[in-house]
Each structure stands twice: as structure tokens, then as C-alpha cells.
Structure 1
Amino acid sequence: MIVVTAAGGRTGLAVVAALRARGQAVRALVSSPRASASLTALGAEVVQTDLTDVDSLPARLAGAQAVHLIWPNFDAREQAGSVAVLAAARRAGVGRLVHHSVLHPQVRAMPHHAAKERVEEAVVGGGVPWRVLRPCAYADNLDAGLSDVAATGRFSSPWGLTRGQSLVDLRDVAEVAAVLLTEDGLDGGTFEVAGPEPLTAPAIAGLLAQRLDREVTAVDVVPDRPVPPVSDYAAHCRRLMFDWYREHGFTGTPWALEALLGRPARTLADHLAAQEVTR
């Protein structure tokens, strides 16, 4: 049995689906019953859990051969909470832990990246055999805006028009996670998982135009307000993240993804072809 934390989120649902496709028994830990129906439909055992309740964690992880440690995105409790899950995994005798990190966690200008790097350090010395998964930004992040792009012909970019991103399909990320959770010979490995092409906003607009069969223009959304305070952690992190992307981009290589899956990474065009769009 494999435990997936924060399983009710988009990433957790995808990882559970990939594991179930491999016939793996899954215990899905969720913070609320919101996604329970979807997880139950996948055949997972759903357990409502407060990941910050340290005393309850060992029981939630008992009997697991592996744990996929996902922490909710842009959460100020990530470092302390993830380290607590790691300690609980050690106490529960878990055989393998996969930490869902991020591409380039060493970039401390982005606080949520820095938190994941500190968790990686704890994982390396945590006493549980480990693997680290470092995904790039998801192609799926574009999906919610597709209908608006179809209606307006404008693709808004908060990271400017000149720097690229190696957007990765979440299905590929989840399939890599399933490999890391179930296959031998990968302990102690750190695996960067990125899409196959660094795409600027105008390049993305071009692909959207092909998918939507209409002209699409990339529009630079330049921030006009100060960086939100740390007390508004999620907004603070998002702003600093896009500021970094605007200056440096966010790119990586698909090499590890393709080596682990034995096939090419899905392109953004592949991803967009699978999406339904209403105008």
C-alpha cells in the first residue's frame, strides 16, 4: 500500500490515478472531503487527515511500503509540516519516501522553493530511503484560462514575453511519481522533470492559436503594486515567483522524465489537444 499526502489537490489526484493504473493499493490523505468522491472512484482508501497533527501521522502511515510526500502549494507551514511527516514515516517503518519538490529549489528568491530545499535536506538525512521529484511548472496551469483566451484572443503572461518555461504535463509528472514510488534501484536519486521545450509567452500564444483556430496575442501583465507582505504568504510567493520567471525564466530538461518513462515527454501541443474549450 502506498500513501499519498494532500491527495485531494490536483497533483495528488493525478498521482493516485497513476498508481491505481499500475494496480497499486493507495491510501489517500485529504484535508477535507471535497475530493473524496473522485478518489473513491479511483479505488483509493480515503482518510481525512490534518497533516499538522503530528500525533496522528504514524497511524496514517502504518503499513505503507511507500509515501508520496506532497505539501499544499504556497503554504507557510510546509517546512515544519513536511519534516513532521518524514519523522512519522520513519517511526512507522515506511520503506520508501518520495518528496514532491520543485525544479530549482535552490533559488531562494522564491520562498516556497527555499522551503522545499530545506525539506530536501531533511529528507536526505531523515532515515528513510528516499527519492526526490523536482517538477517544472505544469502545462495544466493554463487550462483554467483557455475559455477566456478563446473568447478574447489574449493570453496574459505575468512573467513577461521574453523568458521561457519548460511546461510539463501533469500526467507525465504523475507517471514519473508512480515509477519512483514502485520501482527499485532509484534510492538517493533526485529527478528533474520538465517539458520538452522552453516556451515564451508568444510561443505559447502561437500554440493556443493553433488549438483554438483563431489569432491569439500574448499580453505582458506588468505588476503595478508592491510585493504583498509575507503575512499574505501565498500572494507573496506568487509575486516573487513571477518576478523571478520574468527575469530568468523557468526551464529544465526532459531527460529524466523520458528516461524513467521510456517515451518522449508530452509537448504543450499534446496537452492542449486533450483539453475541451468552450467559448
Structure 2
Amino acid sequence: MIVVTAAGGPTGTAAVRELRRRGEAVRAVVSRRGPRPELAALGAEVVVAELTAPMSWSSVLAGADALYLVWPTFDPDEAEGAPALFAEARRAGVPRVVYHSVLRPQLRVMPHHAGKDRAEEALAGSGLRSWRVLQPCAYADDHDGQLESARVSGVFRSHWGLRTGQSLVDLRDVAEAAAVLLLEDGLDGGTFEAAGPEALTAPRMAELIGERLGEDVVADDVVPGGEVPTSYVGRCRRAMYDHHRAHGLVGSPRVLAGLLGRPPRSYAEHLADLDPAVLGLTS
């Protein structure tokens, strides 16, 4: 039995899907009650537990062979909440924990990176028998939502400028890497980057999107304006965009290729596999 937290989000759902594809029993942890048709269709056991609420996790973790700790994006409680969950896993005797972190958590200028960096530090001192860390970069999938508008307008909007690159990774590859870390031996104490195979600038992404759509698409630089937002999520987003605009976020694909046993999917391959409806095209 593999326990996956934040299972209702994109990362958690992708991990559940990959684990079920491999025939593993999965307990999918969600934060609120309500129908979860996608998780139910995958054959997962769905349970409700709030990551930051004071509660005993003994029943959630009972019988677990491994825990995949995914934390909701841009949550200010991660730096304290994740170590508390590591302690719960240790008390419950969970044999293996995989923590979903981020590429370059030490870049503490971005608050959400700082939270994951502190969580990784706590994991190393948690006393867990077997732990691993997965550090993905930004997902190629994060940009799927604007592809239809790019087809209509001919413009791909970039919040990180036009010069710097990012090693966007396909979420399916992240889920597959997570499954390897959850299921295979010989990887304890390892920190594994999950980066795509190329450093993509926004103009290059626009070019590839245009090729997929059969339309001309250009990249537009969406420069953030006004004061830095005061909310935690707003500050995280602004700091992230500012850092990516100045420096990009690029990693090596070699580690991910080693976990997958093949090269990671390219952005062109990601686009090619999308349902035409996502692109606003008829099937």
C-alpha cells in the first residue's frame, strides 16, 4: 500500500495514476470530503486528512509500505508541516518516505523554495529508515491552459521574460520517477533532480506551440507591475517570476533519465501527446 498526499492535485493524481498502472494499491489522501471521480476511477482508496490539522495519522498510514509526501503548492505551512508528517511516518513505522521537493530548494529568495529546503533539512534528521527526495523543475503541463488562447490570439504569454530558459518536465515523467523512488531499493538518502531535456526560452516554446498548432505564435513578455503582493501566494509568485526572469531555472536531465531508463520527454513530445481539445482543435 502506497500513501499519496495532496492526491486531488495534479502531482498527486499523476502519481496515483502511475502507481495504479503498475498494479500498486494506493491510499489517496485529500483535504476535503466530496466526490473524487478521477481517483475512484483509478481504483484508489480515498481518505480525508488535512495536512496541517492536529490529528493522528496512525490510521491513514496503517499498513503503508511507503509514503509520497506531496504538499500543496505555495502553502506557508510546509516548512513546519512536512517535518511533522515525517515524525508521524516514523512513529507509524512506515518503511519508506519520498518527499516531493523542488529544483534548487536552496534558492531561498523564493519563499516556497525556502519552505522545501527546510523540510529537506528536517527529513535528513528525521530518523526515518529509508527516505528519498524528488526535486522537479516547473511542469510543461503548467502551460497547457493557455494553448487554446495562443491558437486564437497567436500570442504565448511569458511571465519570466524572453531570454532565460527553463527545463520544463512532463508531469508523467515526474510521476514515473516518483514511482521508481517509492518502489525500488538502493536509492536511500538520495536527492534526485527531475528536469526536462532542454532549456526552453519563451520564444522557443512559442515556436514549438506554433508548429503543433499549424499557426504562427509569438512570445509576449508579461512584465509584472505594481507593488509586491502582500499575500504569501502573491509574494511567492512574484519572487518566482522575478528570479526566473533574471536567471531562469535549468537542471540536468541526466538524473531523471537514469530513473526512467530513457530520455525525459521533450516539450515537443509533450505537445504532440495532448488531446486536441486542450489545444482548441477538433479531434
- TM-score after normalising by structure 1: 0.97
SS at match of 1:191: strand
Summarize the alignment of residues 100-139 of structure 1 with structure 2, pairs less than 5 Å apart.
100-128=100-128, 129-139=130-140
1:278 alignment counterpart: 280
Query: Does residue 72 of structure 1 match 2:79?
Result: no
1:263 alignment counterpart: 262
Percent identical? 58
Q: Deviations over 1:143-173 (max 9, x none)?
A: 1111100100001111000000000000000
Q: CA deviation at 1:216?
A: 0.6
Give the stretch that moved more between structures: 256-265 or 103-112: 256-265
d(CA) in 1 for partners of 2:251 and 2:106? Answer: 14
d(CA) in 2 for partners of 1:34 and 1:100? Answer: 25
Structure 1 counterpart of 2:102, one-letter code: V
Gaps of 5+ in 2: none
Summarize the alignment of residues 85-234 of structure 1 with structure 2, pairs less than 5 Å apart.
85-128=85-128, 129-229=130-230, 232-234=231-233
Structure 1 counterpart of 2:179, one-letter code: A
Contact 1:4 1:28 in 2 (8 A): yes
Structure 1 counterpart of 2:249, one-letter code: F
Q: Deviations over 1:120-152 (max 9, x none)?
A: 001111111100000010000111111100100
d(CA) in 1 for partners of 2:194 and 2:50? Answer: 29
Gaps of 5+ in 1: none
Give the stretch that moved more between structures: 201-210 or 26-35: 26-35
d(CA) in 1 for partners of 2:115 and 2:104? Answer: 12
SS at match of 1:211: helix
1:239 alignment counterpart: 238
d(CA) in 2 for partners of 1:60 and 1:246? Answer: 41
- TM-score after normalising by structure 2: 0.96
Q: CA deviation at 1:256?
A: 1.1
d(CA) in 2 for partners of 1:265 and 1:144? Answer: 22
SS at match of 2:37: helix
Contact 1:159 1:246 in 2 (8 A): yes
SS at match of 1:156: strand
RMSD, aligned α-carbons: 1.0
- The structure 1 segments of at least 4 consecutive aligned residues displaced by more than 6 Å after TM superposition are none
d(CA) in 1 for partners of 2:178 and 2:54? Answer: 25
d(CA) in 2 for partners of 1:243 and 1:18? Answer: 34
Give the stretch that moved more between structures: 68-77 or 30-39: 30-39
Total equivalences in the alignment = 277
SS at match of 1:270: helix
SS at match of 1:55: coil
SS at match of 1:263: coil
Q: Deviations over 1:21-51 (max 9, x none)?
A: 1111100000124562111111110001111
SS at match of 2:36: helix
